Structure 1
Amino acid sequence: MSKKAVVLLSGGLDSATVLAIARHQGYEAYCLSLDYHQRHRAELDAAQQIVTALGAAMHRTAQLDLAMFGGSALTDASIAVPEMPSEGIPITYVPARNTIMLSLALAWAEVLEAQDIFIGVNALDYSGYPDCRGEYVRAFQDMANLATKSAIEGRTITIHAPLIDMTKAQIVTQGVALGVDYSLTVSCYQADERGRACGVCDSCRLRRQGFVAAGLADPTRYVETANFAE
């Protein structure tokens, strides 16, 4: 009988790859997306297509309006998405986003009696977000096993971050090998309502460089006016 796992699924390249990895490892995948009133909400439609393509057992989308706090270019329409690399942690960082998503995944995992949670964080080709580092994932796992009824009763939780030490090129290479259709995914921080990418934001730049480095064709759908950042 397949083991159950909760898979955090944004609709982007990394989370789609993680879902494919979880399925390849024999997990029955329960996918969780978060509608936090993000600028690029087209990623939520992409998540539904990915779930269908990769055969998840269930997909739910939690609703939580992080735009009420703002503080990020992804949740505050008055803050422009940067189109050039910047120093330090970029303004596209959403305060506590991964902590919120992992907490919701943990709650659902307890209900499902699942002991595994998958998340697509990466600490190599990434934007420098503090909640994408291995030490953060390990700390959350430690907390989860202190804070849950299931862990106290012996069913401990493991947080899987299989992409944590991979380059973007390695990620797309593995995903292609596992049958991920990356044309379905949306990674752009300012994708339009049709899910077309701008080609110049930090996420677009890292994604495109990954396909180039892997020697693979970039299947991303771009707006007609895109001028690619290198």
Structure 2
Amino acid sequence: MSDDARRAVILSSGGLDSTTVLAMARSEGYRCYTLSFDYGQRHRAELLAAKRVSEAFSDVEHKVVTLDLGSIGGSALTDTAIDVPEEETQGIPVTYVPARNTVFLAIALGWAEVLGAGDIFIGVNAVDYSGYPDCRPAFINAFERLANVATRAGVEGGGIRIHAPLLDLGKDAIIQRGLALHVDYALTVSCYQATDAGEACGRCESCRLRRQGFEAAGMPDPTRYRTND
């Protein structure tokens, strides 16, 4: 890929959705810079997965930014005193991390300005998702408007575009799109309580959505599940 290709920052969690988005952005000719966050999450395996995914795309630069969202608590993903639910829940679940995507996109926006990138990609989904408010079209549209009044790139440059290409896709359609782009989903981790080795619990909501997606897509599930509990 040439150095003059359009640059884009891709938020990467090492999961199924963000990996598909990375493949989509790359297929559109973007020079991709992946951004992950060590934010105090319990499921540390996602950071290793994000590194594996980025290495699989040889022209990608990968950055990990350290935050401490665990210090404010409020989520089962950052607070060990809150159990990760293994049954379906009503409303916004305790796995919601307060303002997480707002914080992540703000930092991605800063890096995009430094890189001279006018595009940021995020793998949020408003169909097969957990009800998180920061995974909805209204949030993405509002953040893009904010980005274009709060930055030099927005005021004096060519503007910032927030891409959320999975917003209206079911998990099966996402998987089919990724497989068409030769995504190796065995590299990814989606589980909220994965072991450090990347083995999934098979019981949390993220595991259920992932498994149902592969079943609906008619494809084998490459996820490694824990077998001792």
The aligned residue for residue 143 of structure 1 is 146
How far off its partner does 1:56 sit? 4.1
What is aligned with 2:68? 65
Distance in 2 (CA, whole Å) between partners of 1:4 and 1:219 is 31
Could you tell which deviates more after superposition, 47-56 or 101-110? 47-56
* Pair 1:104-2:115 in alignment: no
Q: 1:176 is matched by which residue type in structure 2?
A: L
TM-score (norm 2): 0.97
Give 1:2 shift: 1.0
Shift of 1:37: 1.0
Q: CA RMSD in A?
A: 0.8
Q: 2:41 aligns with which of 38, 43, 47?
A: 38
1:114 corresponds in structure 2 to 117
Give yes or no for the alignment of 1:159 onto 2:170: no
The match for 1:178 is 181
**What SS does the aligned partner of 1:138 have?**
helix
Q: Which runs of 4+ in 1 moved over 3 A?
A: none
Contiguous gaps of at least 5 residues in structure 1: none
Q: Deviations over 1:6-49 (max 9, x none)?
A: 00000100000000000000000000000001010110000010
* 1:79 corresponding residue in structure 2: 82
Q: Deviations over 1:128-159 (max 9, x none)?
A: 00000011000000000000011111320000
Aligned to 1:2, which of 5, 17, 22? 5
Question: Displacement of 1:93 after TM fit?
Answer: 0.2
Structure 1 length normalisation: TM-score?
A: 0.97
Structure 2: gaps spanning 5 or more residues: none
Name the residue aligned to 2:203: 200
* 1:222 aligned residue: 225
CA distance in structure 2 between the partners assigned to 1:56 and 1:171 by the alignment: 23
Distance 1:32 1:54 in 2: 14
The separation in 1 between residues aligned to 2:203 and 2:58, in whole angstroms, is 32
**1:92 corresponds to 2:95:** yes
| CA–CA separation in structure 1 for the residues paired with 2:91 and 2:37 | 26
Tell me which moved more, 95-104 or 56-65. Answer: 56-65
8 Å Cα contact 1:5/1:28 also seen in 2: yes
2:212 corresponds to: 209
* Structure 1 contact 31–56 (Cα < 8 Å) conserved: no
Instruction: State the one-letter code of the partner of 1:97.
Output: R
d(CA) in 2 for partners of 1:44, 1:186: 9
